[in-house]
Structure 1
Amino acid sequence: MTNRFSDCASLLKDHHILQTLSEFSPEFVGSIPIGVDLPDSDIDIICELKPSLLKVLESFSSYPNFQLSERVLANVPSLICRFRLGSEKVEIVAQRFPPKKQIAYLHMIIEEKILKEKGETFRLSVMEKKKAGKSTEAAFAELLGLEGDPYTSLLGYEKK
């Protein structure tokens, strides 16, 4: 069995993706770094949105399935860049504040802590919920018995 995180990190390194984004403090986040990814999970990268970022993201336009769009995520205006890197899908999300303050990073840190506390059986339960179509956050929230919006309630779980 291969370690998907290591494989994806090597792929990003081989294509200089994080190096290209270095001025925007990129962070590899999401389900892959914490080991709750499915085979079709994206490589998620978050970074800080600065005026020069658009030109840098456009430098990825030679990759297959390149798309650049703007969306509001969790009430935050975001610039989203998607493309394929070999067999992997990459999604870069940029917001106007440092990545370590972005919700994707905060969720990953909380989820990683929960996985360490609850162990392998819990991780496998998360994977089963995800295979059934739940998002990572919804799977965690359901298994933890959290009420309301899973994205918000998961952030609140950290404060307990």
Structure 2
Amino acid sequence: MTNRFSDCTSLLKDHKVLEILSEFSPEFVGSIPIGVDLPHSDIDIICELRPSILKVLESFSSYPNFQISEKVLGNVSSIICRFRLGSEKVEIVAQNLLPREQISYLHMVIEEKILKEKGETFRLSVLEKKKEGKTTETAFAELLGLEGDPYSTLLEYGDM
């Protein structure tokens, strides 16, 4: 494994990203923390949506490729902020849920548990599927033989 998680954590710390977002309970989630990231994978941060978040997200407007949008993700209204920190792409998603109740956090916890159970060969298989263009959830679902929507079946698998 690389030190990408460590490098990204340092980058976030150097730019005080999590500190700036602290009132919104930010969590660094996604493929990087669990070691199934590709070089182009975003730094994914989730946080709680509150009225003051837009003003706080605007504080990142001086970074390259800055943009804010609204989107429905998994039936949940979300504010998405994107920008670059050096060579890394950052995506912040704010939802009206506590971060540890958000689907991206739940997926990461389930995927991390599966990786611990299945080992390095499985992790490398996930990476191969992702290199083919699959999402992390789709890669896990296919390798586990789960049918249907990979986002919901992965949650169901995690509840077993």
Instruction: Report the TM range for the smaller structure's normalisation.
Output: over 0.9
Aligned-pair identity in percent equals 81
Report runs of 4+ in structure 1 exceeding 6 Å deviation: none
Could you say which residue in structure 2 is the equivalent of 1:27?
A: 27
SS of 1:158's partner is helix
2:99 matches 1:99 = yes
2:156 matches 1:152 = no
Aligned residues: 160
Q: Determine the C-alpha separation between the residues in 1 that align with 2:8 and 2:134.
A: 23
SS of 1:7's partner is helix
What is the TM-score of this pair, normalised by structure 2? 0.99
Could you say which residue in structure 1 is the equivalent of 2:57?
A: 57
Alpha-carbon deviations, 1:92-129, whole Å to 9, x = none?
00000100000000000000000000000000000000
Q: Determine the C-alpha separation between the residues in 2 that align with 1:117 and 1:152.
A: 20
Unaligned runs of 5+ in 2: none
Could you say which residue in structure 1 is the equivalent of 2:70?
A: 70
Alpha-carbon deviations, 1:36-89, whole Å to 9, x = none?
000000000000000010000001000000000000000000000000000000
2:125 matches 1:125 = yes
Cα shift at 1:30: 0.1
Alpha-carbon deviations, 1:127-157, whole Å to 9, x = none?
0000000000000000000010000000000
Q: Determine the C-alpha separation between the residues in 1 that align with 2:118 and 2:4.
A: 22
Q: Determine the C-alpha separation between the residues in 2 that align with 1:59 and 1:119.
A: 41
SS of 2:55's partner is helix
